[in-house]
Structure 1
């Protein structure tokens, strides 16, 4: 039997299987000259999306992957907003007829085609990010050469492979190493645990929320092999819990414009991002007491990227993240980093979630606010008093509010900006009332 290129749930897919999936596409007029075309792809069958991606990439086509759960009107709007020539929407590739969008047949793109993505939208409206495939190939080569601990591991990708984290770092990096990744689309935790048991030396790519759920469901005597975190660093109490349930906890850091920027092979503290990848030049603060914006330069092209993240390098040359520059709270000239406040409140019995954010203040410039979710009602005055013994005076929230849930963006992240705006709107409504 031909070796699999990848697995989707329990099913292996070889090169012959992928060739069968894309069979006949080359005869279609839309694909006969794909250079300069932008294809928006929203296929419910993940194997069909991966087969199409692997076929289009070497042809020099530009591709916008759209999450398979996206309804048709939203998928079409995304495709049109990003200047795509065609939309492929449906279950499987053979059932789909490419839809021409607005008469657009060619769009200016980098030589060799591009991967088209949307930013997370955490700090504002999501924007279109285009990355040439050649830049992604450089990232893949650097990621594989730098992250040597992954050579003997099999990636289990339990996150969307329409996103760069799952597609590039999970699937394409595995293919670069000559390993068949296991992509999981059945997000039932019991199914995922069964897949992880079937791949003992696994490297799990998943969201922090899903990883936390798996840890809670895993039998007490059982541990995961290796786990990769991505996105905002986890609070210290959650990080400690995860370290106790897996043999090795890893963290990677990146941004939409540059892809993966740094990898830590062993996360021992919140915000530890590890050493930058060798194809990038990264600048940041000189120490925890002198942080600065993380600036990224792609060596091959000279592209300079402002991350809007605040960080620093330690004496070992490892990068640390402190906060988004937009999220940093300036209280009377003193910077307060939300994560430091959140870690303290997460240590209070019964508190499950805590998010610190800012509000304007007439006297101090800005003030710290906090929303939290707990297992039972908590007296907020008592909680504030408790926090005064554990925080500096400028870190103590002036407003503490218990809520049933904390709203999140579609990508699972919390937008402190939106929390701040919602509180301001609430205050205005109360004044008007």
Structure 2
């Protein structure tokens, strides 16, 4: 089942990226992670569903699983997929596959069976591992579909071989890592990989090692974010899958021997109780998660004294909602900006949030040490304050897109990754997002930035959340439309909100329609679903046209 030596190299499709230096005898990423696990062997590593595992337990079980996977024929260069269930078993498979030098693929749990089958075929994985509890129905639905590989279950399941039963016969002695620096370690589906062309970012172990080095350097800094991870007894609540966004907050916590409290998904009431009862010190969220927490009735009765850091990422928060979150949680918020293709780029620290500078709350922070950010207009570097495309270069960015050399060449130009985000830099080096290139609304050929419109709408005291989108218009080419969620018992009219945008921004930015919703649609990845909002607005416009 193992690939040939030629397939083990990441040299293919590396258009535009710097070559890695292979290390034949060791893998810095794995060596550092295993060393951290041994150093913190007696600490509780994972708490889940009433049980717990120490870091010593993790080592024992990952060694056994690695041998079991090797026993069914897996080796360097093979692909291991697993559903993104937030369980200790999935985490152990993820780590065991790394020991073997396999590449790991997380399959979104929210996708349809046919879409998951397409992902598995595209990723060319050798096995799919699943948890019989949360994923039994998903696995059964996939069985026999074209492109679906051999299935392994973490316990007795409806299809496939029981991997835990195979592992039970294996010794717990250390398993020498098979991985080498230039082996592919991660193939990460991007958030745009549903409902369209599949796209995935491939990373070698060498690039993951560079990410580890970046976090180790950050860990030495005298800042609140680093101190939270270094603190004795650090505990991290995670309802975002551990195999998703691994480098954002899970990695520094692992390196410091933190305890992970795992929940399968966000239940705001359950999460608030866990923060208080488990004395959670680090919380990682998408903005939509933060909104659900601060809007829950139990939030005013929850003790947040243990919380030292709340990391939000995936999208910026509106300044109005951000101020509300700061009032609830205290001076602990920080924002991370990055993409699947870049990992970490910018950091808006708790100190930045707490500064008496409200303009910083519209920023995504400053580049992390070692990260280069340029704003470009065409091939020229933009002036301070000038809007252009944000381009990024890091030592740990993706090597290439999986099996898509043309797309790689379009995205990585002279070593710089084109993010597709529009923004600008200020004189102090803070980066400000203006919009996604694809989300700009061209009204009479003038750029209207949806982020600005959303911030104005969300600044109204009656508005809890707002989304602006563009739709074709026979008179102006495109027109702005908006969807908003009002606070309970709050009243504001469509005319008032349209006038607010017109006064604060311009007539071109004024939404042609404002749709009132009970909740903004979000993708299962936690991001606002602008395509769904466009469909709702289009239905409203069509309905109004028919009634007229």
- TM-score band by shorter chain is 0.7 to 0.9
1:142 aligns with 214
1:119 aligns with 190
Which of 273, 276, 284 aligns to 2:364? It is 273
Secondary structure of the 2:438 match is coil
1:263 aligns with 347
1:151 aligns with 226
Deviation sequence 1:227-270 (CA, Å, 0-9, x none): 11101111111011011122221000111111111212135444
Which of 93, 100, 111 aligns to 1:52? It is 93
Deviation sequence 1:392-411 (CA, Å, 0-9, x none): 22221122233444333222
2:8 aligns with none
Secondary structure of the 1:5 match is strand
Instruction: Give the TM-score normalised by structure 1.
Output: 0.84
1:13 aligns with 53
2:25 aligns with none
1:182 maps onto 2:261 in alignment? yes
Q: CA deviation at 1:293?
A: 0.6
1:79 aligns with 120
Work out the number of aligned pairs and report it: 423
Higher mean displacement: 250-259 or 47-56: 47-56
1:164 aligns with 244
Which of 84, 93, 104 aligns to 2:154? It is 93
Higher mean displacement: 123-132 or 303-312: 123-132
1:284 maps onto 2:364 in alignment? no
Higher mean displacement: 243-252 or 342-351: 342-351
Deviation sequence 1:300-319 (CA, Å, 0-9, x none): 77643111001122222122
Secondary structure of the 1:145 match is helix
Which of 192, 195, 212 aligns to 2:291? It is 212
Instruction: Give the TM-score normalised by structure 2.
Output: 0.68
- Aligned counterparts of 2:250 and 2:419: Cα–Cα separation in 1: 25
- Aligned counterparts of 2:466 and 2:426: Cα–Cα separation in 1: 28
Which of 450, 460, 467 aligns to 1:355? It is 467
Q: CA deviation at 1:295?
A: 0.7
1:251 maps onto 2:301 in alignment? no
Secondary structure of the 1:237 match is helix
C-alpha change, 1:201 and 1:135, in structure 2 (3 Å) is: same
Deviation sequence 1:333-391 (CA, Å, 0-9, x none): 43222122122222334333321111233443332211223346754234433443333
- Aligned counterparts of 2:86 and 2:493: Cα–Cα separation in 1: 49
Higher mean displacement: 42-51 or 203-212: 42-51
- Aligned counterparts of 1:89 and 1:220: Cα–Cα separation in 2: 38
Higher-RCO chain (CA-CA 8 Å, sequence separation at least 6): 2
Q: Check conservation: 2:236, 2:259, Cα contact below 8 A.
A: no
Q: Check conservation: 1:6, 1:14, Cα contact below 8 A.
A: yes
Q: Check conservation: 1:368, 1:398, Cα contact below 8 A.
A: yes
More strand by share: 1
Secondary structure of the 1:321 match is strand
1:294 aligns with 390
C-alpha change, 1:171 and 1:120, in structure 2 (3 Å) is: same
C-alpha change, 1:248 and 1:384, in structure 2 (3 Å) is: same
C-alpha change, 1:360 and 1:289, in structure 2 (3 Å) is: farther
C-alpha change, 1:186 and 1:345, in structure 2 (3 Å) is: closer
- Aligned counterparts of 1:133 and 1:211: Cα–Cα separation in 2: 32
Q: CA deviation at 1:427?
A: 5.5
Q: Check conservation: 2:424, 2:433, Cα contact below 8 A.
A: yes
Q: Check conservation: 2:184, 2:202, Cα contact below 8 A.
A: no
1:191 aligns with 270
2:35 aligns with none
Q: CA deviation at 1:18?
A: 2.6
2:458 aligns with 346
Q: Check conservation: 1:164, 1:259, Cα contact below 8 A.
A: no
C-alpha change, 1:326 and 1:283, in structure 2 (3 Å) is: same
Q: Check conservation: 1:233, 1:270, Cα contact below 8 A.
A: no
C-alpha change, 1:347 and 1:138, in structure 2 (3 Å) is: same
1:324 aligns with 436
RMSD over equivalenced CA pairs, Å:
3.4
Higher mean displacement: 416-425 or 223-232: 416-425
1:413 aligns with 527
Secondary structure of the 2:248 match is helix
C-alpha change, 1:46 and 1:409, in structure 2 (3 Å) is: same
Secondary structure of the 1:342 match is helix
